[in-house]
Structure 1
Amino acid sequence: VSGRSVKAQFKVADRERAAYCVVVGENELAAGTVVLKDLATGEQSTVTRAELPSRLSVKD
């Protein structure tokens, strides 16, 4: 959803009923990490790109 503000991108994710948002900025690119935000709880965590698939598994 490039080219839109972060706020607009979160609105799109909410409208599409996404479970998570993955945020990748310059710092995350340099560190090999992403910020994973659970849209149901608002909880955010920084995870490595390698651990992202397991963190995105289906919620219980």
Structure 2
Amino acid sequence: MPADPLIITDDCTACGACLLTCPEHALRPAPGRPVVLADRCTACGECVEICPRDAIDLLA
């Protein structure tokens, strides 16, 4: 798994949909946009699919 399996772009509005969807709890709220916990992320893509702004890109 790469060091950063996901990138959250500036299009993120911090709506929280990805936080609730991630089965591995690999996203944490932070000012501006969530932070990816790379050691927990399995690059399943569920957050990418649920994001209403298409603000998450899967790098893996």
- Settle same-fold status: TM greater than 0.5: no
Q: Which has the higher helix share?
A: 1
Bigger radius of gyration: 1
Give TM-score, length-normalised by structure 1: 0.27
Q: Which has the higher contact order (CA 8 A, sep 6+)?
A: 2
